Amino acid sequence: MDATVRNYLDQYGVSDATRRFLQKPQKMFIGGDWVDSSNGATFDIFEPSTGGLITQGPPGTTDDLDRAVAAARAQFDGGEWRRLKPLERERMLHRLADLLETHADELAEIEAIDMGKSVTFAREIDIQGTIDTFRYFAGWPTKLHGRTVEPSIPGNYLAYTRKEPLGVVAAIVPWNFPLQTMAWKLAAALAAGCTVVVKPAELTSLSTLRFAELVEEAGIPAGVVNIVTGKGSVIGAAMSTHPGINKVTFTGSTPVGQEVGRTAVSNLKHVTLELGGKSPVLVLDDADLASAARAVANGVFFNSGQVCDAGTRVYIQRSVHDAFLEELIAVARELKMAPGLDRDCYIGPMVSAQQKKVVASYIEAGVREGAKLVYGGASPEGPGHFIEPAIFAHCTPEMSIVREEIFGPVLVTSPFDTLEEAVALANDTPFGLAAAIYSNDLARVHTLIPQLHAGSVYVNAHSTIDPSMPFGGFKDSGFGKDLGPEQLDYLMETKAVWITLP
């Protein structure tokens, strides 16, 4: 750890537990063992608010992946996990949730230090969401069952279905909500009786490695959960072709997801793809403008805009356009830009220097293409990868800031007149992850909901997530669902059993 990061941790009084974790050598968790990369190499892990070096991690190799898959395979094919009674599996998942709760503050600090996000939001959203997801899915093992059927064909049969776990699941996770996204994939897979190999994003492996210590402490048998850190182009790509893996569940960008999907399907693996977005927001003329402005700003600037379903395209009915824009700018002015460990931080840094560069280049492109920058958009000099929230007005559909996912705090707006026009603008995108409507006119709201091509529709809210509700996109935002009972359907096979009776 370099002096910049040490001073940063001192300045914000980071706990001894977090320091101890960050200072020890980081290892992967494979088959219940803590191991270095098989080639002995390491990669640097940086802190985004200061740009300083935190520690080093092991870049997994395909040999490491082979060992992880073999361990997961052995547990699935004949190990203790497969033989565990459902109630016992529930107990183990609850035990893990208890440990996550006990160490929640520490996990929030690790997430804030590794990813740069607000420690307050990390605790309230990422870590609480992780705990809630494990609690929710802990309730499922005793409720998974098939059905008995009365066939109409001639003969006398007992016909019934069985729900069986798919097998070894590979989970590929992005950097924006590292622990929470991992939990979305892992909790349901474990509840279904699968075993798992997780590959966290290269930029944010630390909370997942701390989580693996809690998996061990919870007494989950060795090999049920395996963590292989390292490059997507090495480990992620090898997961899609690995013969020992039955399913790949991927969350990340659309281009990488398309590649993972193509490869995995070509060797007949099951696939879930949770991909990018460019979600529209419709502000109708009867909306409560002040509260809508708060929710819209939160829907795009939360996590510094590094959110897959961020409401980045805001269409405002013309009669309230100027008034709403003013409200929105007033809210944006109040958002505190600060290092992630500052408890009042709202806008933390971008995850990396590269991500800051990408976002800044989109802001420049917006200005060049003729959109009006009505608020923010500055890129302060370092330390840290900060970028001010930006609001653009009078954007047109062909602009790159309107068409492409930016994954930063950039909001584009334009006016509309009729609801037909609003729907056409909202759906004019290859993505279909989410959409939002701000209005108190129930008839208009219910008319709009079925017309929006999106996996989630929020009304007078944005990004309301609960483990009991499914999450997943339409169109180029992917297919399959995380969360809710729906997710379990993507993790289990249905076996049809026919028994001839005398």
Per CB under 6 A, 201 contacts ligand NAD? yes
**Distance of closest approach, residue 247 Cβ to ligand NAD, in angstroms:** 14
Q: Smaller CB distance to ligand NAD: residue 274 or 327?
A: 274
Is 225 within 8 Å of 211 (Cβ atoms)?
no
Instruction: Give 320's DSSP letter.
Output: G
**Distance of closest approach, residue 249 Cβ to ligand NAD, in angstroms:** 10
Q: Which of 414, 437, 433 is nearest to 425 (CA)?
A: 414
Contact region for ligand NAD (CB under 6 A) — 104-112, 152-160, 255-263, 418-426? 255-263
Q: Smaller CB distance to ligand NAD: residue 106 or 202?
A: 202
Q: Is 136 helix (H, G, I), strand (E, B) or coil?
A: helix
Written as one string, the DSSP assignment of 420-457 is HHHHHHHH-SSEESEEEEE-S-HHHHHHHGGGS--SEE
Q: At what angle do helices 178-192 and 128-138 cross, to 10 degrees?
A: 10
Q: Which of 320, 323, 344 is nearest to 334 (CA)?
A: 344
Query: CB-based burial of residue 17 (10 Å sphere; 0-12 exposed, 13-18 middle, 19+ buried)?
Result: middle
**Distance of closest approach, residue 327 Cβ to ligand NAD, in angstroms:** 27
The reply to whether 308 belongs to the active site is yes
Of 141, 244, 252, 366, the one binding ligand NAD (CB under 6 A) is 252
**Applying CB under 6 A, what is the total number of residues that bind ligand NAD?**
29
Q: Are strands 431-432 and 474-475 parallel, antiparallel or unpaired?
A: antiparallel
* Cα(279)–Cα(496) distance, integer angstroms: 40
Instruction: Give 245's DSSP letter.
Output: -
Of 166, 245, 256, 282, the one binding ligand NAD (CB under 6 A) is 256
Residue with tokens 């559909």: 397
Written as one string, the DSSP assignment of 268-311 is T-EEEEE-----EEEE-TTS-HHHHHHHHHHHHHGGGG--TT--
Contact region for ligand NAD (CB under 6 A) — 69-77, 87-95, 131-139, 197-205? 197-205
Which pair of structure tokens corresponds to residue 106? 């520490």
Residues 424-443 that bind ligand NAD (CB under 6 A): 433
Is 351 within 8 Å of 176 (Cβ atoms)?
yes
Per CB under 6 A, 47 contacts ligand NAD? no
Q: Smaller CB distance to ligand NAD: residue 106 or 405?
A: 405
Of 1, 17, 149, 237, the one binding ligand NAD (CB under 6 A) is 237
* Active-site pick, 106, 109, 308, 345: 308
Of 84, 308, 350, 411, the one binding ligand NAD (CB under 6 A) is 308
Per CB under 6 A, 405 contacts ligand NAD? yes
Of 81, 324, 407, 490, the one binding ligand NAD (CB under 6 A) is 407
**Distance of closest approach, residue 153 Cβ to ligand NAD, in angstroms:** 43
* Active-site pick, 202, 274, 327, 405: 274
Is 364 within 8 Å of 399 (Cβ atoms)?
no
Q: Smaller CB distance to ligand NAD: residue 246 or 477?
A: 477
Q: Give residue 392's identity as a one-letter amino acid code.
A: F
**Distance of closest approach, residue 380 Cβ to ligand NAD, in angstroms:** 23
Per CB under 6 A, 171 contacts ligand NAD? no
Question: What's the CA angle centered on 428, arms 425 and 432, to 5 degrees?
Answer: 110
Of 259, 369, 404, 489, the one binding ligand NAD (CB under 6 A) is 259
Per CB under 6 A, 58 contacts ligand NAD? no
Q: Smaller CB distance to ligand NAD: residue 58 or 252?
A: 252
Q: Smaller CB distance to ligand NAD: residue 200 or 415?
A: 200
**Distance of closest approach, residue 279 Cβ to ligand NAD, in angstroms:** 10
* Other residues' Cβ atoms within 10 Å of the Cβ of residue 10: 10
**Distance of closest approach, residue 330 Cβ to ligand NAD, in angstroms:** 28
* Other residues' Cβ atoms within 10 Å of the Cβ of residue 339: 23
Residues 451-490 that bind ligand NAD (CB under 6 A): 473, 477
Q: Give residue 173's identity as a one-letter amino acid code.
A: V
Of 129, 276, 339, 377, the one binding ligand NAD (CB under 6 A) is 276
Written as one string, the DSSP assignment of 344-355 is T-SB---SSHHH
Which pair of structure tokens corresponds to residue 434? 């989410």
Question: Catalytic residue positions?
Answer: 274, 308
User: Which residues of this protein are in contact with ligand NAD, per CB under 6 A?
Assistant: 172-176, 181, 199, 201-202, 232-233, 236-237, 251-253, 256, 259-260, 274-277, 308, 405, 407, 433, 473, 477
